[in-house]
Chains A and B, each alone.
With several copies, the nearest count.
Chain A
Amino acid sequence: MTDAAPLRFHVPEPEFRPGDTPDFSQVAIPKAGSVRRPEVDADPEAIRDLAFSIIRVLNRNGEAVGPWAGLLSDEELATGLRDMMLLRTFDKRMLMAQRQGKTSFYMQHMGEEAVSAAFRKALMPGDMNFPTYRQAGLLIAGGYPMVEMMNQIYSNEADPLKGRQLPVLYSSRDYGFFSLSGNLGTQFVQAVGWAMASAIKGDSKIAVGWIGDGSTAESDFHAALVFASTYKAPVVLNIVNNQWAISTYQGIARGGSGTFAARGLGFGIPALRVDGNDYLAVHAVAKWAAERARRNLGPTLIEHVTYRVGAHSTSDDPSAYRPKAESDAWPLGDPVLRLKNHLIARELWSEERHKQAEAEILDTVIAAQKEAESHGTLHSGGRPSARDMFEGVFAEMPAHLRRQRQDAGV
């Protein structure tokens, strides 16, 4: 009965490497509007197909179609477009600032703007996100001042985090944005804990966890699902599948499972996949999951299918591990362009207004940047003091740290 053949070691490989011509025509993309919208209290088993499909609203003609469409007003759509454009412009300027040596490091969102910008609009005041470094859209769409973000990036004298954190590792309690960690995954289970606390107190606020496709391999992901499943925590758990970790494609973390969403099914947690480049779809799915949480129906797992168009960070060069043209070949398009086309299709927008908006937004970002730079950049101008470095380790500074501060002469 046993086969005499020796065992073989299997290492998954992406389909395309530098030099190959990427071709995603085999990737099954369901038609916009084709995936049903179940009741929020549906049995997870009854909707398991949603973990293997992709919920989409915007079709090729820029129309919003199907059961997940129709939730956003014209004004909200225009705001959504603006938020994404703002984020993209912000990224461009900060990337440039990094190259100019004004800061040490930066991480951009190119291609993934819809995920965080749209999700944010499904939340209520007081809800708390536990984000990764690629959801600054939560801040932008939540109205957090860009200049504060820049102050953090520049580690300048006005940095709300006093220069202690790496650029882009923001924190804003008031804007529902939990302090970012540089350690992958840790926030995912913390989100569940926050949600449990809200339930323990009989509160109405929900938590939202965020994690990257690659980071789902971390232990915190498992602990989050276990605890969320056991205590039916009011939490929405988002996996942003942008196809790549750093140089490692999503198949290394996903393994033999068809999708990341499928992970949730092993826990009896409803799991949905959504077109992460479709602002309307992300928003609709977010609403659905948030309602489940608020109605004591427990956690939802969402896989946002998107693509990381840029480098992983300013320390990375993707041309070493994937074809340059891969992002163009990626079948879900550009989230900004898609929403723009939708607005144009609905005659709420035009190419001219878009150009105008681009110019205005650039001005706004540049103005913020000027203001931020007036407080200094990493290596010049105003900076947090060495004294700040010793503060805040504990609520009260213990004697040994006071002695060290004294030794440091600050």
Chain B
Amino acid sequence: MPRMSMIEAIRDAMDVAMGRDDDVVVFGEDVGYFGGVFRCTQGLQQKYGKHRCFDTPISELGIVGTAIGMGAYGLKPCVEVQFADYVYPAYDQIVSEAARLRYRSNGQFTCPLVIRMPTGGGIFGGQTHSQSPEALFTHVAGLKTVVPSNPLDAKGLLIAAIEDPDPVIFLEPKRLYNGPFDGHHDRPVTAWSKHPLGEVPAGHYTVPLGKAEVRRAGADVTVLAYGTMVHVAEAAAADTGIDAEIVDLRTLVPYDLDTIAASVRKTGRCVVVHEATLTSGFGAELSALVQETCFYHLEAPVGRVAGWDTPYPHAQEWDYFPGPARVGRALAEAMEA
């Protein structure tokens, strides 16, 4: 099986989708000739032509707004916002337009749009290259929100997202692009080529939207995580020796309540983890859902580990980033409670 980094897997997903369907077009800032600042679209313009993969002016509003028009025409745009931190200029088009087009037109017009964005911290990117804005999308009816944690999923989820008839926010944890990252920033980085989830089948396959995956089975406590935090949670389990069951949500909305509830009912304890700021983060929804569905199984309060409620700092990156030590403490607390 080919081994791919997450960048290669994402590129391959677009390649496969463009190869199968002429209506798939890819565009964004620097994605055409250059192939994207993270090189996720490298080679696509050469292969499919400038009319299927092209550079745009620096206007996230324009990128998403024109993509919505293209979707209404019948194309399937898969656009890149250079960093998730730069999605806000397009927020109105996403929330007021993409998310509601099918509903408000009673299906006459639809919006089969994918918005890819690098998300999350861990690269000393400061306030504007580190944010995790997923909760600003999960609150919006009509959007699906996906966060892969590895190359295998990334490719399958991205193909599924492109084939999905509705708008999908596709957040790519940039700290995972070149290798898994478990939050031990002081240890050498290993590449995806050494990781089983870096084995990525060639050609077409999908990972269905809305299905979580148990990444590590465990008896003691359920960890709900996605993206980079899946790896951090694994490290925390290893570091603490706590037998955590780690659920990789993969899709935040629609969420996979069956998998979540089954795990928590089994373990009786739950810790939710994300990089985004704590207050009103998606972790709040998960915590609320868990206690609504598993109240009588819970032996401890649902814990949350998240980014602090501050802008993402530069120098204090590792004080901010919810690493394995913090997650480990939360697991221990859940066990003690």
| Complex A–B touching at CB under 8 A | yes
A400 contacts B by Cβ under 8 Å: yes
Chain A residues lying within 8 Å of B218, measured Cβ to Cβ, are none
Name A75-131 residues within 8 Å CB distance of B: 104-105, 128, 130
Q: How distant is A379 from chain B, measured CB to nearest CB, in Å?
A: 9
Name A197-244 residues within 8 Å CB distance of B: 197-201, 207, 214-215, 217-220, 222-224, 226-227, 230
What string of 1s and 0s marks CB contacts (under 8 Å) between B86-126 and chain A? 10110011001100011111111110000000000000111
B127 touching A248, Cβ below 8 Å: no
Assuming A189-B69, A190-B66, is B58 touching A389 (CB within 8 A)? Answer: no
Instruction: Give the one of A169, A182, A390, A410 with max B CB within 10 A.
Output: A182
Give bound CA distance, A179 to B106, whole Å.
Answer: 9
Give bound CA distance, A394 to B209, whole Å.
Answer: 13
Give bound CA distance, A105 to B123, whole Å.
Answer: 11
**Selected contact of B128 from candidates A183, A220, A227, A320, CB within 8 Å:** A183
Stretch among A57-65, A155-163, A270-278 lining the B interface: A155-163
**Selected contact of A186 from candidates B92, B103, B319, CB within 8 Å:** B92
Assuming A163-B316, A164-B104, A172-B108, is B52 touching A200 (CB within 8 A)? Answer: yes
**Selected contact of B85 from candidates A182, A223, A320, A378, CB within 8 Å:** A182
Chain B residues lying within 8 Å of A248, measured Cβ to Cβ, are 29-30, 34, 55, 57-58
B69 touching A393, Cβ below 8 Å: no
Assuming A182-B129, A390-B310, A392-B102, is B59 touching A217 (CB within 8 A)? Answer: yes
A253 touching B58, Cβ below 8 Å: yes
B58 touching A215, Cβ below 8 Å: yes
Name B43-97 residues within 8 Å CB distance of A: 50-52, 54-59, 61-62, 65-70, 72-75, 85-86, 88-89, 92-93, 96-97
A193 touching B37, Cβ below 8 Å: no
Give bound CA distance, A389 to B68, whole Å.
Answer: 23
A214 touching B58, Cβ below 8 Å: yes
B69 touching A183, Cβ below 8 Å: no
Give bound CA distance, A183 to B33, whole Å.
Answer: 23
A392 touching B103, Cβ below 8 Å: yes
B301 contacts A by Cβ under 8 Å: no
A404 touching B69, Cβ below 8 Å: no
**Number of B residues whose C-beta is below 8 Å from A?**
76
Chain B residues lying within 8 Å of A321, measured Cβ to Cβ, are 33-34
Stretch among A22-30, A41-49, A348-356, A380-388 lining the B interface: A380-388
Chain B residues lying within 8 Å of A189, measured Cβ to Cβ, are 61-62, 65-66, 69, 93
**Selected contact of A383 from candidates B57, B61, B73, B315, CB within 8 Å:** B315
Q: How distant is B184 from chain A, measured CB to nearest CB, in Å?
A: 16
Chain A residues lying within 8 Å of B126, measured Cβ to Cβ, are 104-105, 164-166, 169, 182
B284 contacts A by Cβ under 8 Å: no
B227 contacts A by Cβ under 8 Å: no
Residue of A nearest to B289 (CB): A400
B106 touching A218, Cβ below 8 Å: no
Residue of B nearest to A403 (CB): B257
Q: Can you list 24 contacts pairing A with B, beta carbon distance less than 8 Å?
A: A9-B50, A128-B73, A130-B69, A161-B105, A161-B106, A163-B313, A164-B103, A164-B106, A167-B314, A169-B126, A183-B88, A183-B92, A186-B93, A190-B65, A190-B66, A192-B69, A196-B66, A197-B73, A218-B59, A246-B34, A248-B29, A395-B110, A401-B309, A408-B319
B196 contacts A by Cβ under 8 Å: no
Closest 4 CB pairs of A and B: A193-B69, A163-B315, A182-B128, A193-B66
Chain A residues lying within 8 Å of B314, measured Cβ to Cβ, are 104, 155, 163-167
Residue numbers of A with Cβ under 8 A of B are 9, 11, 13, 17, 104-105, 128, 130, 155, 159-167, 169, 171-173, 178-179, 181-186, 189-201, 207, 214-215, 217-220, 222-224, 226-227, 230, 245-248, 252-253, 255, 315-316, 320-321, 378, 383-386, 388-390, 392-395, 398-401, 404-405, 408, 410
B166 contacts A by Cβ under 8 Å: yes
B298 contacts A by Cβ under 8 Å: no
B192 contacts A by Cβ under 8 Å: no
Give bound CA distance, A224 to B93, whole Å.
Answer: 13
Residue of A nearest to B86 (CB): A183
Chain B residues lying within 8 Å of A130, measured Cβ to Cβ, are 69
Q: How distant is B105 from chain A, measured CB to nearest CB, in Å?
A: 4
